[in-house]
Structure 1
Amino acid sequence: MLAGEAGESDVIQVVSRAFDVLRCFEGHEARLGNLEISNRCGLPRSTVSRLTHTLTRMGQLVYLPRDQKYRIGPSAVAMSASMMKGAQLRNLIRLRLEDIAEQLPGTVGFVIPDRFNLVYLEFARSASALGLHEGIGSKIAMASTAAGAAYTAALQPEIGDALVAEMEREAPEAARLLKPRIEANRQFLREHGYVVACGLWSPHINGVAVPMWSPQYQTVVVVTIGLLAAMYDEERLHSEVAPLMVKLGKAVGDLLEGAEGDFLNNRLERKPIAMAVRNNNKPIAPGGLNELEVGTRRARPARSLRAGDGRR
């Protein structure tokens, strides 16, 4: 066998073994240690340890230091949005997105991080949402969108900074766009519970996004909307769009936390989210609160980026 062929064979073997490891996780609730994975897929424990470390760095797995086990990661979910297909949770989330799309002429999405991008797991679009064509599985850049701004602002500072540092090494142009804004986004998110981005991805598109913690995927996820800048300038984003998106974030956050009973019944009835009124042209924060709890669950450590023990 030629040297090149041998090298290619080694790469194929590594990729094949990595998929063998991922196939050990039957559903996103499965939690497995290296020994359990080794027993399931018949690979040496030392090989499994190297593979799980690499897969964790890639976001395919998440390390749980308290349990000393792994679970399926957000990037693996993003690569296969069909994992949620047909589930009641996804149906309910889509109904809430549709409520907003009926009131605002934009594209409303539920996105999950995938390295330096975010991926649409669900979306709803107004019939008048011209020029906005995202759909399930579509990727949007983390550095140049409201969703990316909200996601990075919601991370613990040391984890967000580590992400930016990694971005500086691998996608320096994106890092140059994101890094100068991240501290201001963190401050605004703490005070208001949402983030805006105007004209970053396109001069014609403005956006609002709300992040929240997802117990299912052990990462921060985001609800976001993109609107034509000609129709919604920054003032209108704050006064008219943000109150709706904050309420949407709370509704989706409650679903992700496993709310049941009347809440689920109300979602099925598709009661519209009420439009907040304007008060002297100033944004109104629901309930008088301005923390991440408004419209989101408080963002916990994004273990998809770095586990508590420093694993990446």
Structure 2
Amino acid sequence: MDDTQKFDDDEESKDRQFVNALARGLELLRCFRPGEPYLTNAELARRAGIPKATVSRLTHTLTKLGYLAYSERRGTYQLASGVLALGYALLSNMDVRQIARPAMEELAEYSQASVSIGARDRLNMVYIETCRSTANVTLRLDVGSRIPLATTAMGRALLSGLPQSERDYLMDHIRQKDEENWPRIKAGIEEAFRSYEERGFCVSAGEWQKDVHAVGVPLLGVEGERAMAFNCGGPAFLLPRERLEADIGPRLVALANKVKADLGRA
């Protein structure tokens, strides 16, 4: 079973309105990952923790509905255009992407790095918009890319701005996912909380990937929008911690405040 599936099991088990068959079908769609477009029923069953006989019925149904496509030659399934249509409908209706993009492009060029905005998906952040500078060396993460909640500036920024109960819930699941490294992860998250309280942003310097530095700021409390966060990140040699804290961090805070104000007027 994929460890992300366990994330919501405790909440789902208490919900009498929860439709298990629908959840299982959606769980299969989540099994596909970048660079792994083709999966068999057996692989899907293993990743989702669902019996193979049930998976066979679900993949048949999802294929009929246009969310999966089956290859006779390979004997595998892949995501189909129905999933893309859902994703496009979501992105096209997010006002924040259109409103934030000009300011994101300006900061990306100034920093010679990448500026992105993402939303939480279980214990990850998913990019919903990203702007890269014209620099030859920059992060190559696109819309739809997933990064960890616990060790990235974007993820820690989101955690920093959440209500205490929700934050505690997520922290507990982060701990369960990686008990061995939890003391180090917890220390980094708590440092991010302090930074956010003092300066309005938090930094991840080589904690996600050793050669990547980034600063993050949450975007919260916007009516009609879910909790999100911005980041500005790039190669460590372009974004030393001192520059992130003295220059880029405050600029990202200003960007987030401007976007929040503009969304309120939209």
Give TM-score scaled by structure 1 length.
Answer: 0.54
Match of 2:127 in 1: 120
CA distance in 1, matches of 2:160, 2:170: 11
1:203 is aligned, of 210, 222, 225, to 210
- CA drift of 1:172 comes to 3.4
Of structures 1 and 2, the one with the larger relative CO (CA 8 A, separation 6+) is 1
The amino acid that maps onto 2:225 is Y
CA distance in 2, matches of 1:166, 1:101: 33
Give TM-score scaled by structure 2 length.
Answer: 0.63
Match of 1:288 in 2: none
Match of 1:14 in 2: 20
The amino acid that maps onto 1:190 is E
2:230 is aligned, of 220, 223, 230, to 223
- Any conservation in 1 of the 2:109–2:133 contact (CA below 8 Å)? yes
Assess, with a 3 A threshold, how the Cα gap between structure 1 residues 128 and 259 changes in structure 2: closer, same or farther.
same
Q: Secondary structure at the match of 1:133?
A: coil
Match of 1:165 in 2: 172
Match of 1:240 in 2: 247
Assess, with a 3 A threshold, how the Cα gap between structure 1 residues 174 and 106 changes in structure 2: closer, same or farther.
farther
Q: Give the number of the structure whose residues are more often helix, by fraction.
A: 2
Q: Deviations over 1:173-222 (max 9, x none)?
A: 5744431223322222111111111011112111011112143234x210
Unaligned runs of 5+ in 2: 1-18, 27-85
- Any conservation in 2 of the 1:143–1:174 contact (CA below 8 Å)? no
- Any conservation in 2 of the 1:206–1:226 contact (CA below 8 Å)? yes
- Calculate percent identity across the aligned residue pairs: 26
Assess, with a 3 A threshold, how the Cα gap between structure 1 residues 158 and 89 changes in structure 2: closer, same or farther.
closer
CA distance in 2, matches of 1:222, 1:247: 13
CA distance in 1, matches of 2:113, 2:140: 10
Deviates more, 1:80-89 or 1:184-193: 80-89
Query: How many equivalent residue pairs?
Result: 189
Assess, with a 3 A threshold, how the Cα gap between structure 1 residues 161 and 17 changes in structure 2: closer, same or farther.
closer
The amino acid that maps onto 1:210 is V
CA distance in 2, matches of 1:173, 1:249: 35
Assess, with a 3 A threshold, how the Cα gap between structure 1 residues 87 and 203 changes in structure 2: closer, same or farther.
closer
